Homo-oligomer: A and B are copies of this chain.
């Protein structure tokens, strides 16, 4: 495969935290049979973004799209991710690297979160 999608998440100490990101990876991979789909983390969990992208390049991937699985655009996306992306472009000059917006900024994701909030009041867990 020459294309890859990297779902970039924060990371946490609790292993349970990664479960929805792993489901997201599996659901996405099922719909993109011609694209490698991987998880990578900013901190606390492995692999970190540079290692994940290096592995993909070693496998022959020529184009990587990074989707930040973050709700808001804080310092991690405003500063840390651009720095990481600059480092990746310098380390892999033949790689085409795209960085998407945060999932939480997508209107479809916002609509689904709104539905969930509305349902939570109607029938709280």
CB within 8 Å of B: which residues of A?
Answer: 3, 5, 7, 9, 12-14, 16-21, 23-24, 27-28, 31-32, 35, 37, 65, 67, 69-75, 78, 98-106, 108-118, 120-121, 124-125
Contact sample, A vs B, 14 pairs, CB 8 Å cutoff:
A5-B117, A12-B72, A13-B74, A17-B73, A19-B72, A27-B114, A28-B117, A65-B120, A67-B120, A69-B71, A101-B125, A106-B112, A106-B113, A109-B116
> Contacts of A108 on B, CB cut-off 8 Å?
112, 115-116
B65 engages A121 (CB within 8 Å): yes
B21 engages A72 (CB within 8 Å): yes
> Contacts of A106 on B, CB cut-off 8 Å?
112-113, 116
